Amino acid sequence: MSRQRSRDTDVEIALRRMLFAAGLRYRVHRRPVKGVRREADVVFGPARVAVFVDGCFWHGCPEHATWPKNNAEFWRAKIEGNQARDRDTDARLAEAGWLAVRVWEHEEAGEAAARIKKMVDERKSAKKSGA
């Protein structure tokens, strides 16, 4: 497990390429909110959008998650702990005025990028109009 990449995975890189091609500029692997020790994979500062690319196994994807049979209690606690941390992160970011976007590793990069672009554009236009 120590060889599992936690950043700059193929999925993240594909998503970032699509976001860049769509004309979006972003920061990579940043903490969106000071004092909250959670790092987003892609951050759009002015729009206050933080994107997290979640692995199906590690975050318990409803479509693709598998529950290991060996050391089952450990893995169930680990994955459920990750899910609880994800919910806590989303809530903390929302309190600070940020939008947390979750992208599953199995999602097609182009579709995820289009969804993110729409959210970023909406938040930018809402900010300009003073909403």
Lowest-pLDDT range of 18-22, 58-62, 98-102, 113-117: 58-62
Is 90 exceeded by the pLDDT of residue 131? Answer: no
CATH number at residue 25: 3.40.960.10
Q: According to the model, what pLDDT value does residue 3 have? A: 58
The reply to whether 54 falls in a domain is yes
The reply to whether 1 falls in a domain is no
The reply to whether 131 falls in a domain is no
Instruction: Name the residue among 98, 104, 1, 95 with its Cα closest to residue 44.
Output: 98
Tens digit of each residue's pLDDT (9 = 90 or more) over 55-91: 999 999 999 888 899 999 999 999 999 999 999 999 9
**Please, are residues 67 and 117 in contact by the beta-carbon 8 Å criterion?**
no
Number of domains composing the chain: 1
The reply to whether 101 falls in a domain is yes
The reply to whether 83 falls in a domain is yes
The reply to whether 109 falls in a domain is yes
Give the whole-angstrom CA distance, residue 74 versus residue 92.
27
Mean pLDDT across 7-26: 96
The reply to whether 37 falls in a domain is yes
Give the whole-angstrom CA distance, residue 69 versus residue 72.
5
Mean pLDDT across 92-100: 97
pTM across the whole model: 0.91
Average pLDDT of the chain?
93
The reply to whether 72 falls in a domain is yes
> Domain range spanning residue 89?
10-124
Provide CB contacts within 8 A for 3, sequence distance 6+. Answer: none
Q: According to the model, what pLDDT value does residue 24 have? A: 97
